[in-house]
A and B are shown apart, each in its own frame.
Chain A
Amino acid sequence: MKINRHSPPALHPPGTPTLIPHRDTRLGNGMNVTCLHDPLQETCKIDLVLPHGIYHQPRPLLASTTINLLNEGTGTLTAAEIAEFFDFHGASIELHTGMHHSTISILSLREHAGKMIEMLATMILESAFPRREMEIFTRNKKQQHEDNMGKTSYLAQRAFSRLLHGEQHPYANHFTGEDFDRVTTAGIREFYRARLSATATRVILSGNVDEAALLPVVERAFSSLPPLPLAPDEEIPPSPASPGIYRVDKPKAVQASIRVGKEGARLHEEDYIPFLLLNTVLGGYFGSRLMSNIREEKGYTYGIHSANVNLERGAYWMISTEVNAGQANATVDEIRKEITRLQEKTIPDDELRLVKSYYHGEILRELDGVYAQAGTLRYYLEYGLDLSFYLRALESVKACTPARLLEIARERLPLDKMIFVIAGGEQ
């Protein structure tokens, strides 16, 4: 058969996601357990979400140091013994400190899941926060920080966070090299215990989950976690610097790092999904306007991206890129032009159709498979939502018109409200 390469194959619209049902259980002490089961997996993932975040720390670096010491020794086990336990079972453990919550994730073969839960509970309930391990940890992190200070990208990001939220705001997460020396085990213990609360803790079991066998293990292992009531996090208003251009000096840098941004859209806001769609047009995918212009037409950069970051008590929106040192100012000009274009001309139908298709595919990818769904569910549960959020998001995407996006571009992206940070490059 002769092929006709001129006419592209017919396109089929992407379908709707298949959501794996999740089951929620509340234990006697108030701890929440969520299970997502997929019998095809050989592995099981355990995520423990604790109510300890950067937002709650009385001193810089306290939250991340605390969380990272949870596998560094208990009353009966040394750091080496805990490490040996996970490694010998072939399991991997990850510790992540977030703004409002922290997560400990363990991935293991399903037959070891029960043992993993028991060890996790021991770490949480009997953590010793040994001083020696803390000193090694903070010293190494300090060295890493000093190494990072040699990168324009790190310098730009730090300055941007500080300017956008205000140096004292928890979302700025500002710290200096000296702050590493000021963390104490007494401070860690106090911070940890004050927020150790069953009612504010959640375990998510995903993958191949034998719920009948594992729930009793969770119940038993965590039974002594106290049902301490925690007050909801108060909203701390940001105190941003005046809009405008800020430069961070970095001699000899062959590239400049640029960050541009302002307050962003929050999850509960009516225009949240439309704004994400608008952001996709501007800088949220490979074919975005910023990429097409600044990479594919001008060749100033290897990449330029924009993103909206929703947090529990605020949100920000940011463009980031690393560009040829001599073209930092030209890049800023082009960024301005692209934002202005979104405010002056409606997005052509073809382009919007393409972005909607891409975004639809992106939503399906975010929900593809049990681990992807467990990860996104963990996020939405913190807002009292679940994955049905995405079904509404798909409707919202479909309904979005060019006129509405033009309006949002004007409301959400005024250039005179933005902070520009340029680290390195020409002055």
Chain B
Amino acid sequence: MIQYTRHILDNGLTLVCNTDSSTPFVSVNVLYKVGARDEQPHRTGLAHLLEHLMFGGSRHVDDFDARVQQAGGESNAFTNNDYTNYYIILPAANIETALWLESDRMLKPKLTRHSLEIQKHVVVEEFKQHYLNRPYGDLWLQLRPLAYKTHPYRWNTIGVEPAHVEHATLDEVRTFARAHYAPDNAIVAISGNVTASRALELVKHWFGDIPPANTPGKKYPEEPEQQEPRRLESTDHPIPVPSDMICIAFHVGGRVSGNFYACDILSDILANGESSRLHANLVKDRPLFSEIDAYLTADVDPGLFILQGKPAKGITVEKAEKAIIDEIQQLAGEGITERELQKIRNKIDLRLACSEISYQSKAFHLALFEYLGDVDLVNSERARYEPFTTGDIKDIARKIFLPANSSTLVYHSSPTP
């Protein structure tokens, strides 16, 4: 059970705090409710580019990182389609340094032409390192526009292509920051060796006078229901691809929908652990795949259920793909056993017990669940998995694993040179 306190400041900033006196550290986690889904289709990658620029100092801070390091701390951030998350972990005695730094860059980040030029290069190298210079790196660049036609999830956080980042202007970056980096669009979550009253006092002190942006509420275009199967055969790769790969995406519910939790159970049944169905049946029993996985994108808006695997050498794409389809059809037709369901519940218990271990994880999850609309999920999420029976799981499988709900991407291996 994670104890926490929650306050909303007059300027709209939400603070959630958990005291953990078992660690000498504290994590100050700041989540901005802005991600790649808030970008314009012609200028993607902006939210992530801005995340890089936020480390370039602010009105009263010359060198952000140096200040963190002097305090014995470390800091990082990540951006996804739904939000941008920053954290500083440092010895608890220096918590005020973290709040000074975070409040100052919320108030007035230094967004200069010079740092924009440099960070564009850095982000383009990041783009290459993760998406272009490794086999299958461009998977999500291809899969998203196949699975989404309307919703901004059709592009990646890194951007549609390097040119989107390269052509971003200082004005665009500044406008984006002004609209989204403000107390009424942020959550500060703190976990570690600090009392709730002290945390509140300090957060009020450092953040209390930052004006809200009052940016109007956001609406994202809804993805229309998919009507027929989609398929992309990929043969032209940025660099050679040694093995074939099959990836099938199905539309599912958003992160806090009941559908999500049922699908989470379903993905565990398919691919969590070596006794899971896909591993046991398609890697070990009939060795058709060299590796296989099933997972959810866990997006705030309706996301994707992904089945992904590489056929073993000598196995054709047709045969391997049919084996996956047979597995999910069997699941949808015959359902799962009580023992399988119990096994997944046991796995979820361990996962949740582990997420309570570290103060960093607690600070992040408090911020995330607050963003998702119910901070108490940090304690009550276990119960969300409870109501599903084996029959419910079968029904969900039947509803989701439909050809008309699927987008299939096949990588055909490059001929060996």
Residues of A bordering B, CB below 8 Å: 1, 3, 5-6, 8-9, 11-15, 17-18, 40-43, 71, 79-80, 83-84, 86-92, 107-109, 133, 136, 139-140, 142-144, 146-147, 149-153, 252-255, 285-287, 295-302, 322-324, 353-355, 357-358, 360-362, 364-365, 368-369, 371, 424
Contacts and interface: CB of A to CB of B under 8 A. Distances in A.
A21 to B, nearest CB: 15
Contacts of B124: 324
11 contacts: A86-B274, A87-B274, A90-B343, A107-B350, A146-B242, A146-B243, A147-B242, A252-B239, A254-B132, A358-B74, A362-B74
Contact of B346 (A17, A89, A136): A89
Nearest to B354: A43
B96 interface: yes
Nearest to A353: B70
B133 A369 contact: no
Most buried by B among A5, A40, A139, A368: A5
A43 B346 CA distance: 13
Contacts of B313: 139, 142-143
Interface stretch (B61-69, B146-154, B324-332): B61-69
Contacts of A149: 242
Contacts of A87: 272-276, 343, 347
Contacts of A297: 118
Interface in B96-130: 96-97, 99-100, 103-104, 107, 117-126, 128-129
Given A11-B70, A90-B346, A299-B120, A369 B23 contact: yes
A23 B18 CA distance: 32
Contact of A136 (B75, B243, B284): B284
Contact of B125 (A40, A323, A355, A424): A323
Nearest to A80: B280
Nearest to B96: A9
A255 B128 contact: yes
A361 B404 CA distance: 53
A8 B104 CA distance: 11
A1 B358 CA distance: 34
B278 to A, nearest CB: 13
Interface stretch (B85-93, B217-225, B259-267): B85-93
B129 A322 contact: yes
A364 B273 CA distance: 33
A255 B125 contact: yes
B24 interface: yes
B310 interface: yes
Interface string B232-255: 000000111111000000000000
Contacts of A254: 128, 132-133, 238-239
A143 B239 contact: no
Contacts of A255: 125, 128-129, 132-133
Contact of A41 (B238, B343, B357): B357
Nearest to B121: A299
B135 A302 contact: no
B347 A90 contact: yes
Given A147-B243, A150-B135, A40 B22 contact: yes
A360 B72 CA distance: 6
Given A15-B24, A143-B310, A109 B273 contact: no
A55 B91 CA distance: 39
Interface string B20-35: 0011110000000000
A301 B343 CA distance: 44
A362 B72 CA distance: 7
Given A14-B91, A140-B291, A297-B118, A5 B312 contact: no
Contacts of A40: 22
Contacts of A14: 24, 72, 91, 93
B135 A364 contact: no
A43 B120 CA distance: 44
A5 B60 contact: yes
Given A364-B25, A368-B25, A8 B67 contact: yes
B24 A364 contact: yes
Contact of B70 (A1, A18, A322, A357): A357
A11 B101 CA distance: 13
A355 to B, nearest CB: 8
B65 A364 contact: no
Given A15-B91, A144-B290, A299-B118, 6 more contacts: A9-B96, A42-B356, A109-B350, A146-B243, A357-B71, A369-B23
Interface string B273-301: 11110011001110100110000000000
A13 B90 CA distance: 11
Contacts of A361: 69, 71-74, 90-91
A302 B89 contact: no
A96 to B, nearest CB: 16
B90 A80 contact: no
Contacts of A5: 59-60, 100, 103-104, 107
B289 to A, nearest CB: 9
A136 B91 contact: no
Interface string B304-318: 000000101100000
Query: Which 8 A/B pairs are nearest by Cβ-Cβ distance?
Result: A299-B121, A361-B72, A90-B346, A83-B274, A12-B93, A9-B96, A87-B273, A83-B275
B339 interface: yes
Interface string B43-71: 00000000000000001100101110111
A250 to B, nearest CB: 8
A150 B237 CA distance: 12
B241 A107 contact: no
A214 B9 CA distance: 50
Contacts of B107: 5
B376 interface: no
A91 B343 CA distance: 10
A147 B245 CA distance: 11
B115 to A, nearest CB: 9
B26 to A, nearest CB: 11
A25 to B, nearest CB: 26
